[in-house]
Structure 1
Amino acid sequence: MGRGPRNYEEKLITPEQAAEIMEEGWKRADLHVHTTCSFDVLPVRDLHPESLYEKALKMGMDYITFTDHETIEAYEILGWNREKLVPGVEISVYDPEFAGHALHINIFELNREEFFELMEIAEIEHDLRNFIKYLKRHKLPFIYNHPFWFEFHSEPNPSSVPRLAKLFPVLEYNMHELKQKNELTIALAENLGKGIVATTDTHTGSLGKVYTLAEGDNFKEFFRNIAMGKSYIVPEDLTRELLIDEMNTWIDLIFEKSQKNSDIKNYLTGIKSLDTMVRISRSELLSYSPKLNRTAMYLLYMISNTGLPASFYLHSAENLAREIERQIEIEKQE
């Protein structure tokens, strides 16, 4: 238990370094994973809770959790007491008065009753402080997900993030965020003395691409060590290459893995580019012509592999990241 990094820069390690640490008995977990139980995950077999659970076991994950949006359905499917399984959920809390924007919070080791009570606070009371008080009273581990993420079309309010982060034991280094944002999260955690986890936040089955290491013979002990700073992370940031790979994975899932699944007909994410692909894939013309379906799939692969969609998204995200950094600097000077 004595081993642990002296500063936050030492927390970021490579997979090779992680392998050495795991030989000493440290545990590994990816604490932000979505399954088909989330509204924005394709209804395909590879992303079903059972498939992802088996995948995590084969990868050697020491703690396995699924944090679907506002639902614990994965645990109703899998059962609540499977080997290495830790019940989890991601809940969005919009508190217009205290926070000013929606926060996404991952909660672990909760039961059905606690889930429904938390959903009531989030959806009816809209009270972040009461939500946090409930978590602490029930001794539930929880994480502030992607602190510098703001909902699409909402007004970014980065100046409130340091104040809100004080309420949380652990902040998230998210694989689907730009390096600038993740560096801001690291700096915030270091300044406030908070724990850090690295997560995939995967919606396409890429669990375990990044992960967190800590000691702990049970999850509560594992999480407590993370909160105390006795942990390491194997991180990755959003890049053009990662975005191209992600888009190609979506194309594969939509055109290859979903063709025999009638549920795809009712699937929409709310993400314009992905929903456009879904609509193309489920058109009657493509359904009756496998050759045309394959041609459409290859055309989308070609567009994705040019890197233009990824570059466009990154340009927009980088502009937002710069604006967040600018606002934080102004706040510091004041």
Structure 2
Amino acid sequence: MPMGRRLKNYQEKLIAPEQAAGLMEDGWKRADLHVHTTCSFDVLPVRSLHPESLYEKSLALGMDFITFTDHDTMDAYEILGWDREKLVPGVEMTVYDPEFAGHVLHVNVFELDREEFLELREISQVEHDLKNFVRYLKRHRLPFMYNHPFWFKFHEELNPSAVPKLANLFPVLEYNMNELKQKNELTIALAERFGKSIVATTDTHSGKLGQVYTLAKGDSFREYFRNIEKGRNYIVPEDLTRKLLIEEMNTWIDLIFDKSHNTQDVKNYLTGIKSLDAMVKISRSTLLNYSPRLNRTAMNLFYMISNTGLPASFYIYSAKSIAREIEKNIEIKSQK
């Protein structure tokens, strides 16, 4: 079945910022449900990405609910406190279930406390039992969602045929700004097939929170998320493009080379992305640390390479190849 036919029922969920503004005037609430801070291992330890800075930025943007979903840690809430205005405790849990799932999943969980987090970490990192993990979430009535369903860990064997059965375990699927349109369309088709809801998130690791978001009614986060689960929501989405990727790469160059932003030693910082890690090592060299002129020269060189668009084009080309391979190996039919 053509992709356009599959997406027909969900197209009305995707709205423009102008439409969203009207809804917000009528009392609809907005939130970016996937944001990383310096507490995540793959976020640069700079002042602008510290939980306090991102919390203040979220307030300034007028977010109705603010949540930080760092990788397998809730340290942001130990830093901020658990009861701040509009703040909703959240975490992105890594779950590897080799028998049922066969690959790594990322799951966002909200409104959990320290004890629930530790118990979930035991299930995900020791038991490696996805079904038990989901049972725990349902038993404790914790809001949760399946992040970027068609993402696979680097060097991990693609296992797209498992995604539909996994998606059926979750009430909400993620439309991720860092994914190509092809993958996000597959996620929407998946949601349509199983009657799931969709949220739009930035999944930002560079502080660009709120560029996309999810709208629903609700005086509390619990009510807001319940309405999302019932499909009573809209999303303001965006997909990864060459232009957006160049902007993101330039933001990383700013963060890596701008010494005034650094508050901690980032010599041991590693993302696992070779190009970024190479830039970090170069930026931390003794010569650049003591020579602002050389630091600026190196920074401008990386800007020049980024602005050619070649790194972005290569990444997009590779990502499109993976998306085509996934679509070839998965059949998602529209729910009748």
TM over 0.5: yes
1:246-289 Cα deviation digits (max 9, x unpaired): 00000000111566434212211111010000001001111121
CA distance in 2, matches of 1:145, 1:206: 18
2:71 aligns with: 69
SS class of match (1:264):
coil
CA distance in 1, matches of 2:141, 2:332: 37
1:41 aligns with: 43
Match of 1:90 among 89, 92, 114: 92
**Paired amino acid for 1:199:** T
User: % of aligned pairs identical?
Assistant: 77
CA distance in 1, matches of 2:261, 2:33: 30
- Give runs of aligned pairs for residues 180-191 of structure 1, distance below 5 A: 180-191=182-193
Q: Post-superposition shift, 1:84?
A: 0.3
SS class of match (2:94):
strand
Q: Post-superposition shift, 1:331?
A: 10
**Paired amino acid for 2:309:** G
Q: Post-superposition shift, 1:330?
A: 9.8
CA distance in 2, matches of 1:185, 1:329: 12
Q: In 2, are the aligned partners of 1:243 and 1:310 still within 8 Å (CA)?
A: yes
Q: Quickly say closer, same or farther: Cα 1:11–1:259, change in 2 above 3 A.
A: closer
Q: Post-superposition shift, 1:7?
A: 3.5
1:290 aligns with: 292
CA distance in 2, matches of 1:284, 1:251: 18
Pair 1:223 & 2:209 matched: no
CA distance in 2, matches of 1:170, 1:212: 12
CA distance in 2, matches of 1:262, 1:65: 24
SS class of match (1:213):
strand
2:121 aligns with: 119
1:101-141 Cα deviation digits (max 9, x unpaired): 01000000000000000000001000000000000000000
CA distance in 1, matches of 2:277, 2:189: 36
**Paired amino acid for 1:91:** M
Match of 1:320 among 322, 325, 330: 322
Q: In 1, are the aligned partners of 2:104 and 2:153 still within 8 Å (CA)?
A: yes
Normalising to structure 1: TM-score of the pair?
0.96
For structure 1, the 5+ residue unaligned runs are 1-5
Q: Quickly say closer, same or farther: Cα 1:300–1:130, change in 2 above 3 A.
A: same
Q: In 2, are the aligned partners of 1:43 and 1:258 still within 8 Å (CA)?
A: no
RMSD (CA atoms): 1.4
Match of 2:130 among 125, 128, 131: 128
Pair 1:162 & 2:161 matched: no
1:3 aligns with: none
1:197 aligns with: 199
**Paired amino acid for 2:186:** L
1:140-159 Cα deviation digits (max 9, x unpaired): 00010000000011111111
CA distance in 1, matches of 2:130, 2:229: 20
Q: Quickly say closer, same or farther: Cα 1:258–1:146, change in 2 above 3 A.
A: farther
Q: In 2, are the aligned partners of 1:159 and 1:331 still within 8 Å (CA)?
A: no
1:32-78 Cα deviation digits (max 9, x unpaired): 00000000000001000000000000100000000000000000000
Q: In 1, are the aligned partners of 2:47 and 2:261 still within 8 Å (CA)?
A: no
Deviates more, 1:250-259 or 1:72-81: 250-259
Match of 2:235 among 214, 233, 236: 233
1:281 aligns with: 283
For structure 2, the 5+ residue unaligned runs are 1-7
CA distance in 1, matches of 2:137, 2:198: 18
Normalising to structure 2: TM-score of the pair?
0.95
Q: In 1, are the aligned partners of 2:35 and 2:205 still within 8 Å (CA)?
A: yes
